[in-house]
Amino acid sequence: MTELVIERIGEKGDGLAQGRAIPRSLPGEHVRLEQGGAITILQPSPERVEAFCPAFESCGGCKLQHWRLEPYAAWKRGLLVQALKARGLEPAVAPLLDAHGAGRRRASLHVRQINGAWQAGYMAAGSHALVPLQACPILVPRLREAPLLAARFGALFGPCDVAVTAADNGLDFAIKAARKLADKALAGVEPLMQEHAITRIAVNGETLMQRMPPMITLGPANVALPVGAFLQATAAGEETLAGLVLGHLGKARQVADLFAGLGPFALRIAQSRAVTAFDSDKPAIAALQQALRHVQGLRPLKAEVRDLFRSPLTPMELNEFDAVVLDPPRAGAEAQCHALAKSKVRRVVSVSCDVQSFARDAAILTAAGYVLGEVTPVDQFKYSAHVECVGLFTRR
């Protein structure tokens, strides 16, 4: 047995002591490591609170439900501060904005057979062992019992992974499975869809059955969700990020929205100024183009397919715009930032879901003469180690 004092919370949300990661611990706590890996809290922190999820001790999803919100928010803001400082950047960093809202509108569940029964849930931290769930309290109310519904697909597809989205008009399921659905089992799918207001079931990227297209409201438009399309985890997160983006555009009249996806920013930007949206996701761009046919009163909005990793907009192309919005995947937008560094674009609004890639890209832009203003961290994935941020870069 070993006794340790937790020094701090690491980047992945675990307590750290003498180089060891101690899950579900807090700074200042005295803990004892038992034989077999169990952890006993000998002296709890005054910042410790009771986790509200009954699966907290085993589930690998939310790591920080046991921490009081004030120090938790300061730690999460600190992740952004530290990432920027490591790149030699020390801009003003705003307090963390809570964007959990009503909960997450998407969930990715695993379905496995345990003791002869099909069950669904998340994996235990650092393990492939399933933690079965009856409900998940961090999801929007319509998805709280999604694990029970997802488990029913086990009898049809065997072990599988189930992604479910709460669209405006029902639930959208995307299943990854090795086993094909037997023809005789197909008849049982439609009653399941009717009973639980399921709009569509897709398997391995292909639509198996659809009662109606799953729809989502993005700003002024209703957009049909392609299978597997990216969507911000919470509606509050989307609104918060979009509000920050719009607030940073200033007097720009021509805007490029890069890594635009379904257009959550572009559609809102087009309510007041012209915008061109670019993304490599063909179905997403097609859905945005289709949605535009049914929206009135927008400024010109063009949507184009383009792989911005392999073919970033050139400095000459970028110079046609007054402002550029970047919202890349976790890997960041390194190639596009090098092109922006050589451009004359006056304003760059960067949205990121990874503080490390944000800081790397920020260093590229500031080295080229951009000034990084206040950066705002956004907490869309509450109780996890994930933090998003929005920053404005302006030319001197």
Residue among 62, 136, 353, 389 flagged as catalytic? 353
C-alpha 111/C-alpha 132 separation (Å) is: 9
C-alpha 367/C-alpha 122 separation (Å) is: 42
C-alpha 170/C-alpha 200 separation (Å) is: 9
314 CB-side CA count, 13 A: 2
Residues 365/348, Cβ–Cβ less than 8 Å = yes
| Maximum distance among all Cα pairs of the chain, rounded to whole angstroms | 68
136 belongs to the catalytic site: no
C-alpha 358/C-alpha 365 separation (Å) is: 11
- Give the chain as a 3 state SS string: CEEEECCEECCCCCEEECCEEECCCCCCCEEEECCCCCEEEEECCCCECCCCCCCCCCECCCCCCCECHHHHHHHHHHHHHHHHHHCCCCCCECCCEECCCCCECEEEEEEEEECCEEEEEEEECCCCCEEECCCCCCECHHHCCHHHHHHCCHHHHCCEEEEEEEECCEEEEEEEECCCCCHHHHCCHHHHHHHCCEEEEEECCEEEEECCCCEEEECCEEEECCCCCCCCCCHHHHHHHHHHHHHCCCCCCEEEEECCCCCCCHHHHCCCCEEEEEECCHHHHHHHHHHHCCCCCCCCEEEEECCCCCCCCCHHHHCCCCEEEECCCCCCCHHHHHHHHCCCCCEEEEEECCHHHHHHHHHHHHHCCEEEEEEEEEECCCCCCCCEEEEEEEEC
> Which of the residues are catalytic?
353
